[in-house]
Structure 1
């Protein structure tokens, strides 16, 4: 939060203050299942959005901020109502911890956050309500859906395969703003929100702060920052855009499944990730090559189902033997062997190769990726689980909105 934004708040407070003074009355902005959202609530949320994101409160911006404030208050009211139904209560200490995290992200302490909000005419209770809804929603979504999510080893392996395929390519540190398009709606509202976000970013608003207030992705809590990624970890649409951005550049809104995405490329670095193979080499020496041994060797290779069975399979083949090469990277192998291995996974082999040593086969017993920014299988599982939780959360919130009685006045 920046003190220079106080001047912007003066315009907002004058705009709202003058209108409220003329009317001498506050009213109801919306009813959500008979729970009132007041014009005071909307105005306070608008102030919070402006002071935390650095948006310039022009006349056009104020209208969009008002729409965003009301939208978020309606969603939060539904989330809090769901928490009450599930008897989930957020402790004040949990909200205090969330505020402390915001302070760390802004190189401040919690008392500074409260002071700067107060100086800008924002009651700290407005921020606490927003955080209470976020925390409660995370708790009930995790409680309802966490046990329903099954991340298979095959899914993890498929993701690791994509990561392995891009291990030698650059890594990207990306921040995102995701704007959801509900399944039952056209994209006009999302397009309008995306235009509003791009307008504020073009006017100098901080990406991190805008993401915190406007993004529908779980990464909003971190200012949109999703850390370092290999191309294999990104959606194809995101990877395509990331490749053409330079560090510090911002994309235009683009379509991804479920909505619109805006990304900022924070940094790019050359990958130092390496793919390490655990290999067993089966060899039929040149001195033992005959039509009979060639046929026996090929049949033995076909019988191998795992690295543990190689020695037994080769035993009937006169002169054939297996060598365990241990962990080895592709660049340590001859190009023709490396090319065969590149697309193989554990349990697969190169097939019989004619080499200067005779006939050889390389079996992949394991394959691992190492280096900075390379995720472990556990990290990939958490990433996949969080993606599914996010999808369930959005669907549930849409269902709550569909089933609710919402009256906007």
Structure 2
């Protein structure tokens, strides 16, 4: 038994695998003791038909606190980060089971974050408080649209804290520095590799390219089942309205996590995984797929958009629109709204050009707003189809509801897109390098976990 305890302390394996799996791995560390007993005991496992559990029924259950190489992660740390995740995903009440899964995942994230910060400190690449504070202020104003003082109050109001977000910022900055010095300089993509890939891409002209979001969750044989269950839960939450971008930022272990999982525009060949290529090829924009088991873990994929290689996509056209709308006073019945909407539709049909829109809209009590720089792609899919078929000066059919009112969009101008030529040599080299950096980063973090001493309380 002493041998098992000593090995556990040295390797930190108890932080990453269950006790039973750990015992199996540690069996080889005590071979002398095991063979010493072999002559006196039956080497066949004897299990009675009726058993009584004498210890805890769930030996793998842990409290959500840990000590990582001496650094303490408290239950409060977990609670505050959970609150941040729930707010970012605009999640309402969650089930007890989902909360348990979320807390475990957040704890894993905090452990990784602590390891990254410790590694940066050990290599004299410490992120200073001033750097964290500067980034926090920028995130407050740019991402949350709040001045830092209001951001502090807001975080406390949702059950989190400024310290929790700042800790996450410190971890991301520390990891970025480590990758820039210890991984990126040693990643090399030759010109021949880039040329070969460009030849493959040129040969695929006329086919599609895809803008894909990913959430990558790493697993080992010991954690595979738990990670798969967590991935399925994430998929369920996104399908129920959760933000893919927010989940990617919090859960994904890919280098794309900081950009919300966005891989950008890529060809299928760039996925370098036939299984993923086949799945993406069958997806429609807005569709979610996964979790898909791949070497080293699981992928959740979200198809943001797709377009044809080497051809201009009409949806990339920049259009000038005027929106003409009416609202229904409170208390308007469905019948009254239908009559008013019908009269509005007939009046709008008489508007022949955008120059007439303001004056004629005012005559029927309608409002007009304009926008000269929208892409058709940025609009809801139903409106995209309508606008693609309009000529300048024409309007969409009326759309809306009793609550939102009725409106039409009038096309006032359109700038058609140029043909997409795909990535150039340097862009493609950068994409290939990023892929290799991501794979090495995963191994780097795996090694940090393996070498850590992690105690759960």
Residue 119 (structure 1) shift: 2.3
Residue 104 (structure 1) shift: 7.7
Which residue in 2 is equivalent to 1:30? 66
**Could you tell me which of 29, 51, 55 is aligned with 2:87?**
51
Which residue in 1 is equivalent to 2:132? 95
Which residue in 1 is equivalent to 2:245? 208
Following superposition of structure 1 onto structure 2, how do residues 212-251 of structure 1 map, counting pairs within 5 Å?
212-235=249-272, 236-251=274-289
Q: For the residues of structure 1 that align with 2:206 and 2:130, how far apart are their CA atoms? A: 45
Q: Please tell me whether the aligned partners of residues 64 and 78 of structure 2 are also in contact (alpha carbons under 8 angstroms).
A: no
Residue 198 (structure 1) shift: 1.2
Q: For the residues of structure 2 that align with 1:145 and 1:176, how far apart are their CA atoms? A: 22
Which residue in 1 is equivalent to 2:12? none
Q: For the residues of structure 1 that align with 2:142 and 2:218, how far apart are their CA atoms? A: 25
For residues 135-163 of structure 1, give each alpha carbon's deviation from its aligned partner in whole angstroms, at most 9, with x where no partner exists: 11111122112232221112212221232
Name stretches of at least 5 consecutive residues in structure 1 with no aligned partner. 1-26, 275-369
Q: For the residues of structure 2 that align with 1:189 and 1:389, how far apart are their CA atoms? A: 26
SS in 2 for 1:88: coil
Q: Does 1:383 align with 2:431?
A: yes
RMSD between superposed Cα atoms in Å: 2.5
Residue 133 (structure 1) shift: 0.8
SS in 2 for 1:253: strand
Q: For the residues of structure 1 that align with 2:210 and 2:154, how far apart are their CA atoms? A: 34
Name stretches of at least 5 consecutive residues in structure 2 with no aligned partner. 1-62, 313-417
For residues 262-320 of structure 1, give each alpha carbon's deviation from its aligned partner in whole angstroms, at most 9, with x where no partner exists: 1111122223359xxxxxxxxxxxxxxxxxxxxxxxxxxxxxxxxxxxxxxxxxxxxxx
Closer, same or farther: CA 210–75 of 1 in aligned 2, 3 Å: same
Residue 259 (structure 1) shift: 1.8
Q: For the residues of structure 2 that align with 1:109 and 1:401, how far apart are their CA atoms? A: 36
**Could you tell me which of 61, 69, 76 is aligned with 2:106?**
69
Closer, same or farther: CA 247–85 of 1 in aligned 2, 3 Å: same
**Could you tell me which of 143, 156, 159 is aligned with 1:121?**
159
Which residue in 2 is equivalent to 1:271? 309
Closer, same or farther: CA 163–206 of 1 in aligned 2, 3 Å: same
Which residue in 1 is equivalent to 2:295? 257
Closer, same or farther: CA 160–47 of 1 in aligned 2, 3 Å: same
Q: For the residues of structure 2 that align with 1:393 and 1:36, how far apart are their CA atoms? A: 24
Q: For the residues of structure 2 that align with 1:53 and 1:386, how far apart are their CA atoms? A: 27
Which residue in 1 is equivalent to 2:204? 166
Which residue in 2 is equivalent to 1:361? none
Which residue in 1 is equivalent to 2:445? 397
SS in 2 for 1:252: strand
Residue 30 (structure 1) shift: 0.8
Q: Please tell me whether the aligned partners of residues 179 and 260 of structure 1 are also in contact (alpha carbons under 8 angstroms).
A: yes
Residue 101 (structure 1) shift: 6.6
Q: Does 1:157 align with 2:205?
A: no
For residues 313-349 of structure 1, give each alpha carbon's deviation from its aligned partner in whole angstroms, at most 9, with x where no partner exists: xxxxxxxxxxxxxxxxxxxxxxxxxxxxxxxxxxxxx
Closer, same or farther: CA 205–114 of 1 in aligned 2, 3 Å: farther
Closer, same or farther: CA 98–265 of 1 in aligned 2, 3 Å: farther
Q: For the residues of structure 2 that align with 1:234 and 1:110, how far apart are their CA atoms? A: 40
For residues 222-241 of structure 1, give each alpha carbon's deviation from its aligned partner in whole angstroms, at most 9, with x where no partner exists: 11112222223233333222
Q: Please tell me whether the aligned partners of residues 82 and 103 of structure 2 are also in contact (alpha carbons under 8 angstroms).
A: yes
Closer, same or farther: CA 260–105 of 1 in aligned 2, 3 Å: farther
Closer, same or farther: CA 230–101 of 1 in aligned 2, 3 Å: farther
Which residue in 2 is equivalent to 1:343? none
Q: Does 1:42 align with 2:90?
A: no
Q: For the residues of structure 1 that align with 2:144 and 2:201, how far apart are their CA atoms? A: 34
Following superposition of structure 1 onto structure 2, how do residues 247-396 of structure 1 map, counting pairs within 5 Å?
247-273=285-311, 371-372=419-420, 374-396=422-444
Q: For the residues of structure 2 that align with 1:194 and 1:69, how far apart are their CA atoms? A: 14
Alignment length, in residue pairs?
Answer: 287
Which residue in 2 is equivalent to 1:360? none
